[in-house]
Amino acid sequence: MLWKLLVEYLRPHRPLLAAVVVFQLAQSIASLYLPTLNADIIDQGVARGDTGYILSTGSFMLLITLAQIVCAVIAVYFGAKAAMGLGRDLRGAIFERVGEFSEQEVTKFGAPSLITRSTNDVQQVQQLVLMSATLMVAAPMLSIGGVIMAIRQDAQLSWLIAVCVPVLLIAVGLIVTRMVPLFRKMQARIDTVNRVLREQLTGIRVVRAFVREDMETERFAGANTDVTEVALRAGRLMALMFPVVMLVLNISSVAVIWFGSFRIEDGSMQVGTLIAFLSYLMQILMSVMMATFMAVMIPRASVSADRIGEVLGTSSSVLPPENPVTSAAFAGKPRRGELEMRDVGFAYPGADQPVLSGISFTARAGETTAIIGSTGSGKTTLVNLMPRLFDVTSGAVLMDGVNVRDLDPDLLWGHIGLVPQRPYLFSGTVRSNLLYGNPDATEDELWTALEIAQARDFVEQMEEGLDAPISQGGTNVSGGQRQRLAIARALVKRPELYIFDDSFSSLDTGTDARLRQALKRNTAGATMVIIAQRVSSIVEADQILVLDDGRIVSHGTHHELLETSETYREIVSSQLAAEETV
């Protein structure tokens, strides 16, 4: 997977990579040429006392060194640019793919894991590319060139290269193979740390309310310790690698000097040649060391690439139609937002029993359809099927007579205003959150939506009004205010179908009643679907569906159900006396 990702996402950066290779080749040639010049200074200049030769050759070495530095800097610049571009493209691809996921795929991976994959995992692959551009490209050039130049200096000592390099490779290889599973564990445990931290930050009020700071501290400490233990084990192996490399390098140096001294003694080798040979051997071994350093990074980057590949390779279970019905197909036809469910059933993957079965009803334009039931009866799942956040496993959901599976997704969502059970506000301002419903809405339309949603009073009391800041998730406003702003956002959109998923539960009964009356006056002609826990929120609905154990057990108006439905009467009696709702 790592190779596949690199090939695909480095393709746009091929000119940069080509420049890296060219400049790394140039600086490698300069590095290989310097020991030969140094040998000439010793043998031709120092040994003969030729100061002019020393100065001229030394000046030439300075020029070569300067060129080497310039080439290395340019190579690193282009390599960094390619690596950063790869990281940007990978993060963009992950974000785009996650944006296509249905609720099923998001639940499968989990938000903490998706965050880790788009940040830490991408960073590992990005770092590999950067280090490859700066180290790995030059390593084979220096090692191959070093072997050739060393043999040119003295072929009889070259057997030391054939011994030292394999020893270094074997020693490092044994260490690297032990690090691979540790890196895999590390990424999984980073997911756990992110999950625990995210839960604690999101639920900080609950933690404090139940005085569970100590318990949560211990839970985080446990997850943190797990990561630390794996990181320490991997760190010890990594720390062991460099002493092993230096041990081989130093033994190799001693061996070259030892055996080279005998050749100098018998006159078959000059001192400059020995120093040059030693320099080339060091370059070869340093190249191997750079390659082994990369070998440390490759396993972790490979694990991260696999995790990234899992996200990019996962297709949404809610696929867009091959030949979608677009707005052109409705030209000249009124869009009423009429919603129909025909014998709908739904089961989660791997579940033994379906969550919903045999659901059939029609929510007509200009009418309010309410759905009520006990906790776990399947109300929220039913809501998720309406805007096609999930696909039904049997039956069909139709919008204005067209199966939602055949509609263009943007067209479908563009005609639905959904207020979820847990309203979410984005960081920004009141205005930016309302404009999420319709970016072209005027200020008058925003205030009108706020007035209908019973939110105008508290927004006007904010110091900056529509430009008052909203923190992430809307945590700087109360639950009821957050709920009303979410309703106003849907009203700004002015869709044909409104879906309120238990959206009035956090409102007091007076605000609830005023809001429903304002909605009735200002959304005439639209289809209204209300999922409710509170009976008082739906007593005026045109039809009420009573959901129990994933099935519609009865339907009718409030008064009809009081007479005909035992389940509905039980719900009513558990909240208030039946006569109080008449």
How far is 182 from 190, CA to CA, in rounded Å? 12
First to last CA, the chain: 65
Please report the pLDDT score of residue 70 as a whole number. Answer: 93
Model confidence pLDDT, tens digit, residues 197-241: 878 877 787 888 888 888 888 888 888 898 898 888 888 887 887
Query: Which band of pLDDT confidence, cut at 50, 70 and 90, is reported for residue 330?
Result: low
Alpha helices in 320-471 (DSSP H): 379-385, 409-414, 430-434, 443-452, 456-461
In this structure, CATH architecture of domain 2-312: Up-down Bundle (1.20)
The pair of structure tokens assigned to 247 is 């041990």
The answer, yes or no, to whether residue 578 has pLDDT greater than 50, is no
pLDDT of residue 409: 83
Burial class for 10, CB neighbours closer than 10 Å (0-12, 13-18, 19+): middle
| Mean pLDDT taken over the chain | 83
Give the pLDDT of residue 334: 56
User: pLDDT digit string (tens) for 343-361?
Assistant: 999 988 777 788 888 889 9
Using CA atoms, how far apart are residues 399 and 568, in angstroms rounded to an integer? 28
Give the chain's largest Cα–Cα span: 119
Q: Is the pLDDT of residue 12 over 60?
A: yes
CA quadruple 92, 93, 95, 101: dihedral, nearest 10: 160
Buried b (16+ CB within 10 A) or exposed e, 215-250: ebeeeeeebeebbeebbebbeebbeebeebbeebbe
Taking residues 378-405, what's their average pLDDT?
Answer: 86
Q: Give the number of other CB atoms < 10 A from CB of residue 20.
A: 25
Domain spans, the chain = 2-312, 338-415+495-582, 423-494
CA distance 373 to 353: 19
User: Do residues 128 and 297 lie in contact, with contact meaning Cβ atoms separated by under 8 Å?
Assistant: yes
pLDDT digits (tens, 9 = 90+) for 544-570: 998 888 888 888 888 888 888 888 888
Pick the CATH number of 423-494 from 3.40.50.970, 3.40.50.300, 3.40.50.2030, 3.40.50.12280: 3.40.50.300
Is the per-residue pLDDT at 328 higher than 60?
A: no
Topology agreement, domain 2-312 and domain 338-415+495-582: no
Q: CA distances (Å), 227 to each of 183, 185, 200, 239, in order?
A: 10, 8, 18, 18
Following DSSP, what letter does each residue of 77-118 receive, concatenated?
HHHHHHHHHHHHHHHHHHHHHHHH--HHHHHHH-HHHHHHII
Q: Does the domain formed by 338-415+495-582 have CATH 1.10.4160.10?
A: no
What DSSP string runs through 547-563? Answer: EETTEEEEEE-HHHHHH
Weakest mean pLDDT among 57-61, 75-79, 217-221, 277-281: 277-281
pLDDT exceeding 70 applies to what percent of the chain?
97
CA distance 126 to 85: 9
Residue 74 pLDDT class (50, 70, 90 cuts) = very high
pLDDT over 60 (residue 425): yes
Specify the pLDDT at position 335: 61
Using the predicted structure, report yes or no on whether residue 50 has a pLDDT greater than 50. Answer: yes
Does position 517 have pLDDT exceeding 80, yes or no? yes
Q: How far apart are CA 162 and CA 284, in angstroms?
A: 11
pLDDT band at 331 (very low <50, low <70, confident <90, very high): very low
Q: For residues 109 and 67, what is the distance between their CA atoms, to the nearest angstrom?
A: 50
Residue 580: which pLDDT band, with cuts at 50, 70 and 90?
Answer: low
Give residue for tokens 């995210």: 198
Q: What confidence category does residue 333 fall into, taking pLDDT thresholds of 50, 70 and 90?
A: low
From CA 290, how far away is CA 480, in angstroms rounded? 60
**Residue with token string 């949560």:** 216
Instruction: For the chain, state the CA radius of gyration.
Output: 35
- pLDDT at residue number 88: 92
Average pLDDT over residues 88-99: 90
pLDDT in tens, 439-470: 888 889 999 999 998 888 888 888 888 899 98
Token readout for 374 is 């006990």
* Residue, of 544 and 148, whose pLDDT is higher: 544
Handedness of CA 160, 164, 167, 170 (dihedral sign): negative
19-34 pLDDT tens trace: 998 998 888 888 888 8
CA–CA gap between residue 183 and residue 171 (Å, rounded): 19
